[in-house]
């Protein structure tokens, strides 16, 4: 993707729910969003990025690596705007008029518009879409996941008062999102699950992927062959997962699925890299099963290269995702030549549709996942082929190509 001025697309405005925070040197964003901004700056003359300011007293997410906006190479062609944290109904209506005015001014200045929708109250991207409709402007909508499905599936884990509110407002949110999609000129839907959920409401739907892997991250042919030979030698299989220990990721299902073959004598070593609200429960469960020597729970790591090295070294990327989302970790595993083995979804089906670099098992069925792990242990030649297929499936996911594709769509339609 060339960054020459004649190929850039003027001024683009993104309105999102991504968290910003104020650091000692000004606004900060997470490292992955910063990598994305660099990609957008290659395709547009100026990028205005509006996100939600995280209150100073809000408990910080330790799994975020914060970067100073001032240190970004593209900062001279970048404007970052903090929007109010207004997910409570009262605060949302208090800030609505002033924030909509701010959004309207930025919309009027921009050549291209893209809004990442995701909620009801406090979703300023949705308000931006309403304002764009008022200004008779073309715009793109972007969905990272099927938000109403995520909320429905996680309802049992949230406090009662909030649960009541979510149940009451969920139908309104769904209709609101469908309305904004219908009035958009471009629908960017992350992964096949999201596309399936929203495509019927869009006049111009596209399945897209948001990744930060480069072509240079793809596992080398020599490393791939070495891995395939190792699994065929009968060595203990290495299982990995990277992500938050939260309800929607199914961490306790993950432990149950890998514990059964371990307890029956299958030589396995497993590692879950990441922290989150259920990490303590995971540790307690591993201890109760007496599997501390076989299941590692090291917590969060911000070292991207180290994580990719773990993926390249692992034989199976085992996951138990319970909601319709599009986790980037599955793509990173494929790029690393690590087969994805876990709960079935349209998203995971699509990722390996070309070469079959994974095995999908029924949702919420740890026993079926256990049986699959057992089968791959017993059929090492099959696993070796799966490893090679995973790397081939991963070869199409490089950041430069995917950002160029999305930028072309935004320039043409929004």
Find out if CATH 3.40.50.2000 is the number for domain 216-394: yes
User: Is residue 411 within 8 Å of 112, Cβ to Cβ?
Assistant: yes
- How much is the pLDDT for 59? 65
Cβ partners under 8 Å of residue 52, min gap 6: 16, 17, 18, 19, 20, 82, 83, 84, 85, 122, 124
Q: List every span in the chain annotated with CATH 3.40.50.2000.
A: 5-211+399-413, 216-394
- How much is the pLDDT for 1? 36
- How much is the pLDDT for 153? 83
Considering the domain 5-211+399-413, what is its CATH architecture? 3-Layer(aba) Sandwich (3.40)
DSSP 355-407: T--EEEE-TT-HHHHHHHHHHHHH-HHHHHHHHHHHHHHHTT--HHHHHHHHH
- Among left, alpha and beta (phi > 0; psi -120 to 50; other), residue 220 is beta
Cα(242)–Cα(239) distance, integer angstroms: 11
Beta strand 316-319 pairing with 46-53? unpaired
Q: Residue 306 class from Cβ within 10 Å (0-12 exposed, 13-18 middle, 19+ buried)?
A: exposed
pTM for the full model?
A: 0.85
Q: List C-alpha distances in Å: 122 to 56, 108, 206, 355.
A: 17, 22, 26, 41
State the alpha helices, DSSP H only, in 233-327.
251-263, 279-289, 304-313
Question: Locate tokens 């769904």: which residue?
Answer: 174
Contacts 24+ apart (CB under 8 A), 362-371: 363/322, 364/250, 364/253, 364/322, 366/253, 366/254, 366/256, 366/257, 366/260, 366/320, 367/257, 367/260, 369/253, 369/257, 369/318, 369/320, 369/341, 369/342, 369/343, 370/256, 370/257, 370/258, 370/260, 370/261
State the alpha helices, DSSP H only, in 18-159.
31-41, 89-109, 124-134, 147-154
Q: How many CB atoms lie within 10 A of CB 143?
A: 23
Which secondary structure element, helix H or strand E, spans residue 13, and what is its range? strand 11-23
- How much is the pLDDT for 4? 39
Cα(210)–Cα(331) distance, integer angstroms: 10
Cα(230)–Cα(227) distance, integer angstroms: 5
Give me 155's structure tokens: 């309802």
pLDDT tens for the 414 residues of the chain, in order: 334 344 567 999 999 999 999 999 999 999 989 989 998 999 999 999 999 999 987 766 667 889 999 999 999 999 999 999 999 999 999 999 999 999 999 999 999 999 999 899 999 999 999 999 999 999 999 999 998 888 888 888 788 888 888 898 899 999 999 999 999 999 999 999 999 999 999 999 999 998 888 888 999 999 999 999 999 999 999 999 999 999 999 999 999 999 999 999 999 999 999 999 999 999 999 999 999 999 999 999 989 899 999 999 999 999 999 988 889 999 999 999 999 999 999 999 999 999 999 999 999 999 999 999 999 999 999 999 999 999 999 999 988 889 989 999 999 999
């Amino acid at each position: 993707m060339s960054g020459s001025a004649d190929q850039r697309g003027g001024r683009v405005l993104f309105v999102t729910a991504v968290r910003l925070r104020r650091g000692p040197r000004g606004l900060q964003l997470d490292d992955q969003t910063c990598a994305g901004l660099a990609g957008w700056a290659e395709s547009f003359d100026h990028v205005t990025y509006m996100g939600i300011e995280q209150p100073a007293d809000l408990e910080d997410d330790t799994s975020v690596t914060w970067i100073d906006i001032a240190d970004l190479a593209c900062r001279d062609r970048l404007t970052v705007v903090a929007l109010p944290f207004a997910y409570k109904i009262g605060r949302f209506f208090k800030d609505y008029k002033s924030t909509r005015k701010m959004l309207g001014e930025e919309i009027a200045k921009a050549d291209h518009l893209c809004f990442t929708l995701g909620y009801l109250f406090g979703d300023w991207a949705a308000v931006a879409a309403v304002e764009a409709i008022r200004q008779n402007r073309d715009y793109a909508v972007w969905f990272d996941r099927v938000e109403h499905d995520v909320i429905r599936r996680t309802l049992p884990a949230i406090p009662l008062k909030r649960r009541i509110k979510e149940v009451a407002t969920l139908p309104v949110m769904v209709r609101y999102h469908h309305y904004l999609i219908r009035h958009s000129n471009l629908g960017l839907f992350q992964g096949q699950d999201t596309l399936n959920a929203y495509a019927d409401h869009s006049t111009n739907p596209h399945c897209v992927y948001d990744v930060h892997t480069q072509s240079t991250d793809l596992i080398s042919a020599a490393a791939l062959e070495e891995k395939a030979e190792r699994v065929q030698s009968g060595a203990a299989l290495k299982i990995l997962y990277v992500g938050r220990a939260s309800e929607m990721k199914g961490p306790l299902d993950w432990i149950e699925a890998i514990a059964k073959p371990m307890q029956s004598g299958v030589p396995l070593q497993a590692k879950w890299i990441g922290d989150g609200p259920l990490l303590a429960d995971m540790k307690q469960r591993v201890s109760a099963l007496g599997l501390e020597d076989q299941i590692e729970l090291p917590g969060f790591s911000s070292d991207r290269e180290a994580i990719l090295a773990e993926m390249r070294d692992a034989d199976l990327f085992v996951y138990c995702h319970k909601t319709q989302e599009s986790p980037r970790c599955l793509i990173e595993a494929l790029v690393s030549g690590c087969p994805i083995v876990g709960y079935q979804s349209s998203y995971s089906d699509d990722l390996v549709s070309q070469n079959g670099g994974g095995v999908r098992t029924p949702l919420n069925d740890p026993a079926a996942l256990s049986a699959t792990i057992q089968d791959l242990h017993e059929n090492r030649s099959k696993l070796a082929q799966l490893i090679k297929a995973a790397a081939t499936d991963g070869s199409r996911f490089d950041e430069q190509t995917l950002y160029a594709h999305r930028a072309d769509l935004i320039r043409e339609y929004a």
